[in-house]
A and B are shown apart, each in its own frame.
Chain A
């Protein structure tokens, strides 16, 4: 059941991504409306898919590689939808949906069998820690997309060459406030997720504590990068190109953390 739902939502995402891309190039309004409807349908199917998997697995589906990536993609969709009504960031959808679809394709490539949960992972802290962290990463990814768009647009304005992207990308101000908004939420959630993770690690390992796994070190570095970014933004008024560059760099650290997490298993 959940498998079928996954395939359906993947198909819907693919369709939405295709239409969004065509819209990005042609800028026809009718396409935008169609893409949005299909995207919302895809998110709906995706939500039902996760719920169905929860019922089938009898535990929160954030343990296998497939599940983690799926949940990451879902968080991105929800994160995107959560603010698209508040901020009008022109053509942001085209980029976000592309990333979401790529994640879904990766998830589709991973083995989808439901694995029984090892006894030591059967705690309520795991789903809370994992879901909060992944939602945090989703917001930070959106910030990275916004920053990438910022860097492209900024380059056009500085070089004074107004090409393909100039008309299609929103104003620098819109992208900068998107960056601030997403990093604010993402950083808060990441801190929360890491605190819960620490508590859980102590509970699990007792005296062993956190241990110095590479994924934990990587997560710490990521957190420090974002903490530095937040600090500079609010205290020194850092913004614009430097902030955007650091956001993209910090996003690379997130990807590394996630990669280490996936190859080392969910704990």
Chain B
């Protein structure tokens, strides 16, 4: 039984400039996940792509070779080989686990403590589990990542002062406009990020929100939430004359707004300042726009600097949070070590679990008068019995100092429990 290792590859906002990140960004999850299916060596895999990071997490038997294959499959042709090698980080084993937990707990975020990343990770995991690309190890790993993030959130005050990108945007807006009361905001693209930012801005007394989107229907829906208006993409420049703050987050691959568009509307605005925020990757707004007078353009990396300034107070909490991450990493690695003899254990668990489930269903369906509490008690009892029953066989499998060697022990257990070897249980989430 070869040892499976967990590998995490990725780029993030710390090491890689936006120019490269936007080239590496994944276009949805389904298509790249399906492409990864063609790599035979990958046992389980999961992708995460946000505006700040692109990460691939997988379990395989030959990390070195699979690393090269995965990189080749996902990113070939997007940037040069040496550029990719320079910015990509590779974590193996406990390093990978620690990194994932750190990301989930929002310790690696641009705004440390912001909650958005956890939602993004859950969304990414939903795709992986729908397409059944995450198996026993990754399922458990991701669930542990979520619970670690939750622990960090409840046990430290790290999330107290961070409200994601929108926080930085409001901060900057105040330095430009003094007061956001009565200002008009425009959202280009009706994505989740834009929605969050708009929510925060409306809380600051923004007078009106205009939503611009390629499909008008989504724009209308979003606009209704902020009691704003919706307009089509072709009216963007015209509407810009009335806008003070623009947040762009479309999924467009090219630029949405060019320098001459903005230059042409400045006289109409009588040069009132214009604050443009580009949180899209790849960028929506021409970086050259920032050279215009009275126009302030910030992309996602620039916001990073604003965020840097509030870092100090959060660092103390971050130390506490890192300890939690460390603890959870150790726990997970201990669990993983016991999975050395994984397939047999998995099957054993699955068989026991399915027997347990079947019997429970049979019994519980007849006892309709039971309340939730009683049901749960019975379920707990059933799983406790199976766990105790399995304890000795599992112990026998895992222990090293028995006269029989590992292969022999595995064979014994397999024949005892009549394990077929067709491993259908790996796709079930671990309890």
Residues of A within 8 A of B (CB): 153, 157-158, 160-162, 166-167, 170-174, 236-242
Answer yes or no: B58 CB below 8 A from chain A CBs: no
B262-279 interface (Cβ within 8 A of A): 267, 269-273
Listed residue (B174, B175, B298) with the most chain A CB atoms within 10 angstroms of its CB: B175
Q: Could you tell me the distance in whole angstroms from the C-beta of B386 to the nearest C-beta in chain A?
A: 59
If A240-B293, A241-B293, A242-B293 touch, does A157 touch B175 (CB 8 Å cutoff)? yes
Contacts of A158 in B (CB 8 A): 290, 296
* Chain B residues near A (Cβ < 8 Å): 172, 174-179, 267, 269-273, 290, 293-294, 296, 298, 302, 305-306, 309
Residue of B nearest to A242 (CB): B293
Contacts of B296 in A (CB 8 A): 157-158
Flag if A173 contacts B178 (CB, 8 Å): yes
Instruction: Give the one of B177, B178, B272, B290 with max A CB within 10 A.
Output: B178
Inter-chain CA distance A148–B293, complex, in Å, is: 16
- The 5 A-B pairs at the shortest CB distance, nearest first, are namely A237-B270, A171-B178, A173-B178, A240-B294, A160-B302
Instruction: Give the residue name and chain of the B residue nearest to A241 (CB).
Output: B293
The answer to whether B175 touches A153 (Cβ under 8 A) is yes
Give which listed residue, A157, A239, A241, contacts B176 with CB less than 8 A.
A157
CB distance A160 to B298 under 8 Å? yes
- Least CB distance, A213 to chain B, in whole angstroms: 38
Chain A residue, CB-CB nearest to B298: A160
List the A side residues contacting B290 at CB < 8 Å. Answer: 158
From B172, B273, B306, contact of A240 by CB (8 A): B273
In the complex, which residue of chain B has the Cβ closest to the Cβ of A156?
B175
Contacts of A236 in B (CB 8 A): 267, 270
Q: What are 15 of the A-B contact pairs (CB < 8 Å)?
A: A153-B175, A157-B172, A157-B175, A160-B302, A162-B305, A162-B306, A167-B309, A171-B177, A172-B176, A173-B176, A174-B178, A237-B271, A238-B271, A240-B273, A241-B294
A166 and B308 CA atoms in complex are apart in Å by 13
Please indicate the chain A residues that have their CB under 8 angstroms from the CB of B178 in the complex: 170-174
- Known contacts A171-B174, A171-B175, A172-B273, A161 near B305 by CB under 8 Å: yes
Complex Cα distance, B243 from A113, in Å, reads 60
Q: What is the CA–CA distance of A170 and B309 in the complex, to the nearest angstrom?
A: 17
Name the residue of chain A whose CB is nearest to the CB of B303: A160
Please measure, in the bound complex, the distance between the C-alpha atom of A90 and the C-alpha atom of B267, giving whole angstroms: 29
> Within the assembled complex, what's the spacing in Å between the Cα atoms of A239 and B176?
13
CB of B326 to closest CB in A, whole Å? 32
Rounded to whole angstroms, the CA-CA distance of A229 and B399 in the bound complex is 87
- A109 CB → nearest B CB, Å: 39
A153 and B294 CA atoms in complex are apart in Å by: 12
Please indicate the chain A residues that have their CB under 8 angstroms from the CB of B179 in the complex.
Answer: 171, 173
Contacts A162-B305, A173-B179, A237-B270 known; list 10 others, CB within 8 Å. Answer: A170-B178, A171-B179, A172-B175, A172-B176, A236-B267, A236-B270, A237-B272, A239-B270, A240-B271, A240-B273
In whole angstroms, what is the CA distance A240 to B309 when docked? 26
A170 to B178, CA, bound (A): 8
- Give the residue name and chain of the A residue nearest to B291 (CB): A158
Determine the distance from Cα of A173 to Cα of B173 in the docked complex, in whole angstroms: 10
Kindly list chain A residues whose C-beta atoms are within 8 Å of the C-beta of B309.
Answer: 162, 167
Which B residues lie within 8 Å of A171 (CB)?
174-179
Once bound together, how far apart are the Cα atoms of A157 and B296, in whole Å? 7
In angstroms, Cα B188 to Cα A14, docked, is 53
Contact assessment for A160 and B176 in the assembled complex, using a CB-CB cutoff below 8 Å: no
A236–B267 alpha-carbon span in the complex (Å): 8
Distance to closest chain A CB from B158 (angstroms)? 22
Closest Cβ of chain A to B75, distance in Å, is 29
Give the distance to chain A from B281, nearest Cβ to Cβ, in Å: 18
In angstroms, Cα B55 to Cα A224, docked, is 62
- Complex Cα spacing A238 to B267, Å: 9
In the complex, what distance in Å separates the CA atom of A240 from the CA atom of B306?
22
B177 and A173: CB pair below 8 A? yes
Cβ-closest chain B residue relative to A173:
B178
Contacts of B298 in A (CB 8 A): 160
CA distance A160 to B306 in the complex (A): 8
Q: How far is the CA of A43 from the CA of B174 in the complex (A)?
A: 33
CA distance A89 to B55 in the complex (A): 46
Q: How far is the CB of B129 from chain A (nearest CB, A)?
A: 40
Bound: A147/B379 CA distance, A: 73
Q: Are B305 and A173 in contact (CB under 8 A)?
A: no
Query: Chain A residues near B294 (CB, 8 Å)?
Result: 239-241
A167 vs B176: C-alpha distance when bound (angstroms): 12
A166 to B171, CA, bound (A): 11
Which residues of B sit under 8 angstroms from A172, Cβ to Cβ?
175-178, 273
Choose one: A166, A167, A173; the contact of B273 (CB below 8 Å): A173
